[in-house]
A = this chain, B = another copy of it.
Amino acid sequence: MLKPAYEEAHAGFEEGGVPVGAAMFDSRGRVLSRGRNRRVQDNDPSAHGETDAFRKAGRQTTYRDKILVTTLAPCWYCSGLIRQFRIGTVVVGESENFAGHLDWLREAGIQVVELNDPECTELMRRFIQQSPNIWNEDIGESE
């Protein structure tokens, strides 16, 4: 299930963008949408990987049976999205480059699966090394 999210992240990296990708699946494991961070590509600070995939899945009656796969642990913005819409399951490619708030999600009853995927980790590590300013901007850490 990580493949489409990783492909999105990789495409983002090739575009010079923040390489975080995501995909939403329905309860049968079918891909509903794919998305990636578009801060650089579209000058859109609101498009994180998770919110882009969420947007592209369109209006859904419920998210409790949906699975959101993301290459990187979600920030507060995306964690808030997951919690507000009660997305049932979140699959996290890696949480080494950014720890996120996985316990906060678990406390809200969301199932969190951590993959510790080396490809996701390596792609993000390369980007943060290359473009620390864009990365800091993307998580609100710029001064």
Contact = CB atoms under 8 A, between A and B. Distances in A.
Interface in A38-91: 39, 43-47, 51, 54-55, 57-63, 75-81, 83-86
A45 B58 contact: yes
Contacts of A76: 80-81, 83-84
Nearest to A51: B46
A77 B57 CA distance: 17
Interface residues of A, number: 32
A29 interface: no
Interface stretch (A8-16, A119-127, A135-143): A135-143
Given A46-B54, A58-B45, A140 B86 contact: yes
A134 to B, nearest CB: 9
Contacts of A81: 46, 76-77, 80
Contacts of A39: 59
14 contacts: A43-B59, A45-B57, A45-B85, A46-B54, A51-B51, A62-B143, A76-B84, A77-B80, A77-B81, A77-B84, A77-B85, A79-B80, A84-B140, A85-B140
Given A45-B59, A84-B139, 9 more contacts: A44-B55, A45-B60, A46-B54, A61-B137, A75-B84, A77-B83, A79-B80, A80-B80, A84-B140
